[in-house]
Structure 1
C-alpha cells in the first residue's frame, strides 16, 4: 500500500546533471469546451534581432487550448495599424479577434506596439506599447499573450512564468529552469548524485531543492541570478521536501533527526528549526497555505497516506482527504480556492479539491502521475507522468478539459515546479 508513497524517493535514489540543453515542445492533447478564434497578423519588422514575436504569442494562445489561432497566409490581410485592417476578410476567415502591431528600436530599447481588435464590432480592446531590452523580446511576447488571454477570457494568463524540473540522462542529473512553454532551458546544477524536489521562492529569484552530493539528502537554497547557494537543512539523518513560506523567509522541511519523518520550519539560512508535526511515523511533503499560518502535508498516521492540515503554531492536525486509500503530494492553489494532489484512482492520478465544498475531482487518466504544481494563475496544473515508461511533464487545466504534454528531446523529466510570474 505504501509502495507508490515512496516512489519519488526510491526513484531519486536510483535517479544527479548532464549537459543536455534541448528545449521541450508542447503537444496539445485536449482543448477547452469553448475556443476563441483569433488571427495573429505578423508584426511590422517582425524579425528584429532574430526574435520573432507573433509566433511566440500564437504558440502561447494555441497551446492553452482556449484559443484557435487562424492561419494568416493571404498577404492582403497583413496590416500594421487598425486603420489598414481588412475586417471583412478577417471575419470571412472565421476570426473573432485580431492581433496586429509594429516593432522598432528607440534609444537602445525594443518597442512593441500592438492592438487587439474585436473583428465584428471593430472595437479596440487593447492598444498598448511595451518597451524593453531587445534580448527580452521573447519574455515581452509572453507578457503580451498574457494580456490578450486576460482581456478575452477574464482570467489571468501564466505564459510569462517559468518552470523548474529535474532532467535525468543516463546516470546524470540536471536541475533546469525554462520558460513556461519549455523554451530556453538553462541548467542550474549538475551532479552525478540525485537532485530532487525543486521549489520556487515567492519572488522567483531562488530555488530550494534536495541534493545527494554529500551522499545523504541535504536541502539547499540557490540564488539564480548569482549562482550563490547554501545549506538550509543539513541535520543528522535525512533532510528533504522543502517548501517556501509565503513571505520567503522560512522553509518547511522534513527531517529525521529525531526519528521517523517529521515536519519542521527553519529560517532560510537553516537556523531555528521548530517541529510542527506530532504523531505518525511518516509526515512529509509539506506546503504552506497562502496566509502562511498553516501547512498541509502527507501523513500515515491514519494507517494510509492521507493529507492533513496543521497550524504552524502546533496543535492537532485536521484530516483533509477521506476518499480512497492513497492521497498525497498536496499543493494549495495561489488563489486559495482549491488544492491539487495525487490520488489512487485506477492508477495514481492528479486530482483537485474545491476547498469550500471539499468536493474532489480526478483530472487525469494516466496511471503514474506525481508532483502536481499549480500555475501562478491557479487555472493549470503541471505534473510528471510516465509515457512509454519514460518520465515526462504534462499540464492539465483545473477543470480537466485542457491537456498538454511537454516533450523533452532527450532524457527523463520529473518533479516539476511552476514558478511565479516574471514582472
Structure 2
C-alpha cells in the first residue's frame, strides 16, 4: 500500500477508483499475458466424489473446492465434465472400477478418486490420485476431521496432488489476513486463500490496517488507531488477544517480520522523519537502521534474513532500495521509471513484487537484483499491496478495477489475474500467510 508524503497516516483508507470491468465476476480469471504455443499444463480429471446414498450435496461441494484448488495453480488443465468418457456414469466407492483406457482417450493424464463419508459429525475422505497411463495409484491419503473442517481436508489433498505433480506442496491450506470494513472503520480479518471462512479478528471500532503474519502464522502484527494514536500491535490467533509492540511518539507503522520470527522491522518517526528500525518480537530493543533526510518506509525482509528491501525518496521520488540488516550497503533496485512502492520479497528469494505509479498503480515483479521488471496487472484500476504465496508462484494484492477495493491474485509466471471470491467487505493491505 502507498505509504508516502502527506498522506502517510491515512494512505490505507482511500483508493484511486478505477473503471469497472463488467466482465469480471467472482473467481473469474483475466488473462493479461499470453504464453503462446502448446498448452503444457497437466491434464487432470476430478469427477464428483463418491459418497454413500444421501450425501450427494456435500460431495458436490467438496468436488468444486478441489477443482478450484487445482485450477488455481495454473499448472493443471482440469477436464470439463463434458470431456469425461461417454460411458462414465460417476465414481463408486471402488476405485478398481475406473476405466483408464477411457480416461486416456479423454486426454486425462491423471484421475482423482475420492470416497467421502459424513458420519457422527465427522467426515472421512479416502483420497487417491491415479496415473492414467499406467493405472497405478501414485498418491493415497485417508483424511478425517470434524465436518465443519471439511474444506481444510479437501485443501490438504489438493496440496498433496500439487506436491506430486510439481515437487512442492500447493498453497490451498494457506490464509490471507487483510484490513476491511465500512468507510471510516477498518478491522483486521482473515480468510482462506479461496475466500472462504472469512473471520473478523479485531473489535477495535477504529482504523486497523497493514496486518502481516508471523512466519509460523501464530501472530499478526498490525497498525491501529484504537488508542487514539497510530501504534503497532501484535494479535495472537490462539488467544484472540492483542499486545502493544510500539507506542512511540509520532508514527509507528509498516511492521515486517524477520524470517526467524524473533524480530520485526518497523517505521518510526520518534527521532524526526520516518526511519526504519529493528525491534525484538516483544517490542523491546529498538535499533535504528536508516538515517537519511528523506522518508524511509515499507520494509520487507529477504527470506534469508540478511537484507531488507524498502521504499525511500532519498533520490527525489519514491523508489525501491535494499540494504543489509545492519543498515549498510544501500543500493537502489527500481529503475523502470515512475514511482515505486510496496516491496514484497518472494519466499524463494528470486523476485520482488512492488507497485509502480505511472498514471495508475500497477503491480510489477522484478528479479531480486532489480533486473527484468515486468507488469502483473494492467487493469485501469488501482492495484496495490502485493504479497507472495509461500511457494513463490502467486501474488495477492488489492485492486479497485471493479470499484471498491477487492482481493485479487496474479500468477507471477503467466500474469493471469483472478479475483478472490467470497470476501464480503472492502479488503485492503493483504498478507499471504503460511500453509497450515
TM-score by length of 1: 0.89
**Cα 1:85/1:415, change in 2 over 3 Å:** same
State the aligned residue count.
413
Q: Residue 202 of structure 2: SS of its match in structure 1? A: strand
Q: What whole-Å deviation, never above 9, does each CA across 1:303-341 have from its counterpart, x for those lacking one?
A: 111111122223241222222131121111111111111
Distance 1:9-1:156 versus aligned 2 partners, 3 A rule: farther
In structure 1, how many angstroms separate the alpha carbons of the residues matched to 2:89 and 2:30? Answer: 33
- Kept in 1, the 8 Å contact 2:338–2:358? The answer is no
Q: Is the 8 A contact 2:335 2:370 kept in 1?
A: no
* Counterparts of 2:305 and 2:435, CA distance in 1: 19
Give the structure 2 partner of residue 35 of structure 1. 41
Cross-structure match for 2:418 = 404
* Mapped pair 1:101 → 2:107: no
Partner of 2:226: helix, strand, or coil?
coil
User: After superposition, where does 1:142-161 map in structure 2 within 5 Å?
Assistant: 142-161=155-174
1:241–1:67 CA distance, 2 compared to 1 (3 A): same
Residue pair 2:195, 2:423 contacting (<8 A) in 1 also: no
Aligned partner of residue 283 in structure 2, secondary structure = coil
**Structure 1 pair 259/4, CA: closer, same or farther in 2 (3 Å)?**
closer
Q: Is the 8 A contact 1:81 1:101 kept in 2?
A: no
Match of 1:420 in 2: 434
Query: Alignment partner for residue 272 of structure 2, among 256, 259, 264?
Result: 259
| Structure 1 runs (4+) greater than 6 angstroms displaced | 2-8, 105-109
Residue in structure 2 matched with residue 45 of structure 1 by the alignment: 51
Find the aligned partners of 2:423 and 2:373 in 1 and give their Cα distance: 34
1:26 aligns with: 27
Which of the numbers 72, 76, 98 marks the counterpart of 1:67? 76
Where in structure 2 are the equivalents of 1:253-402 lying within 5 Å?
253-345=266-358, 347-355=360-368, 358-367=371-380, 368-402=382-416
Q: Distance in 2 between matches of 1:94 and 1:242?
A: 48
Mind listing any 5+ residue stretches in structure 2 that lack a counterpart?
16-24
The question of whether the paired residues in 2 share the 8 Å contact of 1:109 and 1:133 is answered with yes
- Would you say the 8 A contact 1:49–1:134 is kept in 2? no
**Once superposed, what is the RMSD of the aligned Cα atoms?**
2.8
Change (3 A) 1:106 1:396: same
> Within 1, Cα distance between the matches of 2:177 and 2:152?
17
Between the aligned partners of 1:335 and 1:413, the Cα distance in structure 2 is 27
Q: Could you tell me how far apart the structure 2 residues matched to 1:96 and 1:126 are?
A: 14
Q: CA deviation at 1:348?
A: 1.6
Bigger drift between 233-242 and 314-323 goes to 314-323
Aligned match of 1:20: none
| Aligned-partner SS, 1:54 | helix
Deviation at 1:14, TM superposition (A): 5.9
Among residues 212, 222, 231, which one is paired with 1:218 in the alignment? 231
